[in-house]
Amino acid sequence: MNRKLIIILLAILALLLVVGCNTDESSQDVEAETTSKDVLYKNATYDIVVEKNDDWELKSDANTDNLNVILRNGKSQAIISSVSSDRKFAAVKKELKASTKNIKIISEDNNRLSYQSTLEDAILTDVYFKEHNSSINLIIIFMSPESAYEQAKPSVKSLLKHIKQL
């Protein structure tokens, strides 16, 4: 279990290293709406809304220079983060690969990178790149234990469909 936590923390650290500062605004208009039937998370500064999805719940929202939202679904976690629209996914993938050790690349294409930790309690990670608006792109990272990965796939696809512009 400690190895899983270490892998998750390494993935989060890698993500935070990858995302650069892309906003000069000092205050963020953030709402985590738990009373709304339609919205799980909304942030006007980043022009993002995550529509309510029965599978996912809001775990945390960090107040940083970038969007950093963590969602949870059972044993799986999702991190939604922002990068400048100038950043291309090829560069982000290169930085992720360079900063993450003990992984095996499963697959990659223009908008997705999938890898697995090589430790005993393997964590499978899918990183999606989504062009969001004229000023930011989104990096969406899904992490699941190998034993729960196949079961989590429908929830991952569902959450990707629920991330929209305001």
Architecture of domain 2-165: 3-Layer(aba) Sandwich (3.40)
Domain chopping of the chain, boundaries: 2-165
| Mean pLDDT value across the chain | 82
Angstrom CA distances, 143 to 64, 70, 85, 88, stand at 22, 11, 24, 22
Q: Is the pTM of this model over 0.85?
A: no
pLDDT tens per residue, the chain (166 residues)?
A: 545 545 554 555 454 444 443 333 333 444 444 344 589 999 999 999 999 988 899 999 987 888 999 999 999 999 999 999 999 899 989 898 888 888 999 999 989 999 999 888 899 999 999 999 988 999 999 999 999 999 999 999 999 999 999 8
Q: What is the pLDDT of residue 55?
A: 86
Would you say 118 and 104 are in contact if contact means Cβ atoms under 8 Å apart? Answer: yes
